[in-house]
Amino acid sequence: MKTIDELLADGVDGKRVFVRADLNVPLDGGTITDDGRIRAVLPTVKALADAGAKVVVASHLGRPKGAPDPAFSLAPAASRLGELLGSAVAFAADTVGESAQATVAGLTGGQVAVLENLRFNPGETSKDDAERAAFAEQLAALADVYVGDGFGAVHRKHASVFDLPKRLPHYAGYLIATEVGVLKKLTEDVKRPYVVALGGAKVSDKLAVIDQLLGKADRLLIGGGMAYTFLKAKGYEVGISLLQEDQVPVVQEYMERAEKNGVELVLPVDVLVSTEFPDLKTKAPATFTTVDADAIPADQEGLDIGPRTRELYASKLADAATVFWNGPMGVFEHPDYAGGTRAVAQALVEADGFTVVGGGDSAAAVRTLGFDENAFGHISTGGGASLEYLEGKTLPGLAALED
């Protein structure tokens, strides 16, 4: 995989460089609530602009239905990118149409433009190879060189991620190079003890990575909504907690394999429960009680790991040489149920080992709860991509850059 440093060494002055970024930031109306992904691509964009390239940045945002939708416009992201760069960023009102063509044609060396949301064009996400290829050809006409730096999208076989690099000289940007380097530390010659903390809503989303980790990790800590399927697999009452009943047999088999392989599988010993899901808009105080994990009332729902579990998990993370964390421990968006997620984050901050926050809600939680991002070894920009890499899957966007 060639890197941007090799591209810069060859010279980019006056060249049109297409940067596939991941500007898929959360929006509240037109206001960006977390600009982490924009800041993550800054080193690549700035290095190219400083070297005299005409930088064409492209990304998706959300899941529009293959047609323009103002709610998913990249205009706010373009504006924020300009603020962070300290210079004006041009914005094209379409992806490959008249506005995009005119905007790119108007660039001079060192200037940056952002195209409108790639998913406004149905060719970006099409399952039809010919339709994707046609869109990729139109994108290729806007550039001389391709730089892949949207790590959060590399597990997608999309036109700008998979098909476009085949049509242009292609390089990996700084973010992708960093992300891949980190993931190799989690899969090749891992320093031990290797502890993985997994949370989030659905156990089905994590089964494939658990399957892989049962042969690699020393210790697995399970929290979040997915924990209740594990507790159910132990024969516990889980009340109205999030449960994937159809996954119970698979989870039971994984628990048996963990014991056979000598992998310590750690489950909650107490949980915060309530009869009502919290109001995440008003953040009104919640009514809850703390119960043992094997004593959840039939009419109540588990919403966070309890104080004894927080202490237990912190102790299990303390001696780790390598930690990977993906998924919150509870409904962290509400202050009354953020304690478990905060405890895991704090344990990573205090750990002496190499700590990786695996993107998605975990990365959002770290920022929401006010932690210093520099206190962690690495905060990934792609939760789904990270998990699929750890599952051993071939990621289309990385495969395209390696050709």
Which amino acid makes up residue 307? P
What are residue 312's DSSP bridge partners? none
Q: In a 3-state reduction of DSSP, which class is residue 19?
A: strand
**Is the distance from CB of 158 to CB of 129 less than 8 angstroms?**
no
Residue 111's alpha-carbon distances to 89, 164, 256, 307, 387, in angstroms, are: 7, 22, 57, 52, 35
Strand order in the sheet with 354-357: 264-266, 219-222, 194-198, 322-326, 354-357, 378-379
**Spatial separation of the C-alpha atoms in residues 165 and 146, rounded to whole Å:** 6
DSSP state of 72: G
Cα-trace Rg, the chain: 22
Active site residues: 37, 202, 360, 384
Backbone angles phi, psi at 283, to 5 degrees: 55, 30
Q: Compute the distance between CA of residue 55 and CA of residue 35 in angstroms, rounded to an integer.
A: 20
With 0-12 / 13-18 / 19 or more C-beta atoms within 10 angstroms meaning exposed / middle / buried, residue 220 is buried
Cβ neighbourhood burial of 189 (10 Å; 0-12, 13-18, 19+): exposed
Phi, psi (deg, nearest 5) at residue 46: -65, -40
C-alpha span between 55 and 8 (Å, rounded): 13
